[in-house]
Structure 1
């Protein structure tokens, strides 16, 4: 977008300029552009900090939102980094346009003027897109669908699996996690009884199991994928699963049951 705008505006300026600015207009326009985009960026960043805190609060209150919220945070971070680069380029190009005003090099000055304004317009469009993306009323649902597509890409195949079978397997996995996670739950609850009287999330329990050597990395990854998929379905993703994911859930259930039984037998 930036390259396209710069190329088109510069081409028009060199061939048949429709607007000719004098020195005072250039100084005022580009000094104002830098100040405006800096102010907009500051307000956007401040508002996003409050919004991010709100997302974190929702994540704490509802454990099934963890994956969707973390996905949104990652997306917003990338967008904000992109906007930051554009804002820096806008300020630098505006300063260069002002600095080159008295250089007497008409070609360089014309090019800088058009690049600076193209960068300014692109920055405004990027900030606008970011704001509307953040306040989208169905952001959780869209994030959930994105996670579902990543975990279960074959769900749109003709041979669909049974959602009931998947949920049945998942509920049994959840029961196993709750059982083996009781020591961690009791320790955490006693340490933070006054502030966080809540059970540990399934994702957090799998972290504890991995760190304590009760499951290997491969089983851990597959557990996290099943947790992500189930939570995505809860929060707006299509209630459809593939036969592959149903079979995978049954296999994970059996492996988890076997692994935990072996560890219980090994304990004194």
Structure 2
């Protein structure tokens, strides 16, 4: 290329990247608020909208970093394009890297645009359902109906909210109570333990993934369905005898025994057992051991931590995970 061609191409390239970066940031600000508002109006997809927002944000960060570096490389190219310049020998490097970075920017822009696919939330819910299904062993030919599962789940959620409201507030505010608030209230009053909290949260995740999944087959994993029925029955028994402390305590102990003996989620049990023996295990080690992605393992650890089943501590600059007593 001639001198004029190089100067024209790289000056134009810097301007194009700058304009593209500005448009992407402007578009992100509008898109992010829109996705956030969608999640706020429907709490059953909040997890998916937050995940989508995180994906868009990380893609934007990559675009910003690559764009800034590429613009700097273009400016350096224009500045040293002179044989008398002491840095002229570095010109081929900056010429090549500027083009490669531009290709990376375009790749990230395409990824950013793909995140805005109208079916992104449904695809995330389908992936979530697939992951949870694989965590529970079940006969693939023995499935339960979608309507029965949703009926039982709605009964469980209504029972949890009603019981929580009776413990702390007026029944009139039951429909305004979030399920996590209800679970926290019940756990604080020792109606449920950390293990029950986690199992119910798993059922909530499965229900949301099932409802929003685009998969035509809405059949339900038998093991998860039976677990839902068992937990609902046990908590319903506690509620029915809430005014009789002796019987209520027996029913609560029965729930604790059930949740502590429940080994349906094979990944959870294997992960907890492994952490008992290897509290200092890194994400890379856990990912390799359980054949899971680092992000998947990290998400699972956060869920276990939020449910009070494990605790995270820092020791000598290393993260350690300690498994709590499941009776608490």
User: Normalized against structure 1, the TM-score is what?
Assistant: 0.72
Give deviations 1:135-177, integer Å, cap 9, x for gaps: x121221121122123222589624431355334313311212
Among residues 130, 138, 144, which one is paired with 1:162 in the alignment?
144
Whole-Å Cα distance in 1 between the matches of residues 186 and 143 of structure 2?
A: 29
More helix by share: 1
List aligned pairs for 1:172-183, cutoff 5 A: 172-182=155-165
Q: How does 1:26-175 map to 2 (within 5 A)?
A: 26-102=6-82, 103=85, 108-134=90-116, 136-153=117-134, 158-163=140-145, 164-175=147-158
Q: Gaps spanning 5+ residues in structure 1: where?
A: 1-19, 190-196
Is the contact made by 1:27 and 1:98 (CA closer than 8 Å) also made in structure 2? yes
Structure 1 residue 265 displacement after superposition? 5.6
* Aligned counterparts of 1:133 and 1:260: Cα–Cα separation in 2: 44
**Cα distance in 1 for residues equivalent to 2:57 and 2:118:** 19
Counterpart for residue 205 of structure 1:
182
Determine if the alignment matches structure 1 residue 231 to structure 2 residue 214.
no
With over 3 angstroms needed to count, the CA separation of the structure-2 counterparts of 1:115 and 1:161, relative to structure 1, is same
Return the structure number with greater strand share.
Answer: 2
Query: Retained in 2: the 8 A contact 1:148–1:237?
Result: no
Contact 1:162 1:246 in 2 (8 A): yes
TM norm structure 2: 0.61
| Alpha-carbon RMSD | 3.4
Distance 2:138 2:62 in 1: 33
Q: CA deviation at 1:76?
A: 2.0
Q: In structure 2, what is the Cα distance between the partners aligned to 1:160 and 1:264?
A: 40
| Distance in 2 of aligned mates of 1:87 and 1:187 | 55
1:127, distance to aligned residue in structure 2 (A): 0.9
Residues 69 and 207 of structure 1, relative CA distance in 2, 3 Å threshold: farther
Give the superposition deviation at 1:211.
Answer: 6.0
Aligned length: 239
Q: Which runs of 5+ in 2 are unaligned?
A: 249-328
Contact conserved, 2:139 with 2:222, CA < 8 A, in 1? no
